Structure 1
Amino acid sequence: MLFAQPAVTDERKAFYERIDRDSLTPLWEVLGNLVPPRPATPCVPALWRYEQMRPYLMEAGRLISAREAERRVLVLENPGLRGASSITHSLYAGLQLIL
């Protein structure tokens, strides 16, 4: 869905300037940026099989003690979001070793 942006009249511009002083903005001016015509995400499908991850988890347990790390967790990172420590823009997941 494409959103037509209403014409900016002098009266509207003055209104936008007034509401801007109170940290407000009209949705109809920015909706096209917030709701793209089609989904766009850097996230890619990913699958972490426990039987493949468990050896890493156990090795992490040998390499770092519970005293050294508050939480011994291997974070599941979406390949499209490397460095973000998340599987999507709004979800975090990890495998925690508790011994």
Structure 2
Amino acid sequence: MTPKALSVYKEQKDQENKSRLALADMSAWMNGVYVLRAIGCAMDKNATYPNSNVFFNDEPELTEEEKEEIIKENTQIAASNFAAWAEVANKSKK
């Protein structure tokens, strides 16, 4: 493989790393909120620790139509990503 062809994989890996770091950052922030609430409970008798999840509510499950729509959208995204990859791969062979 040529370096140009490998750059597609590098860009994908960079994007995955950015997503992973963003998730870790959000997780750390959410953990900090819980710690802050716990410390607040220890310091103030009027403060209460949450009884349930603060950030994610129990949302109703998706209907079959909503699931199908999401699958359709994801399939279209995957197809366009593959088309872009194939275009780069085909150009590098010329």
Alignment TM-score, normalising by the size of structure 2: 0.25
Q: Which has the higher contact order (CA 8 A, sep 6+)?
A: 2
Going by fraction, where is helix more abundant, 1 or 2?
2
Going by fraction, where is strand more abundant, 1 or 2?
1
Alignment TM-score, normalising by the size of structure 1: 0.24
Larger Cα-atom Rg: 1
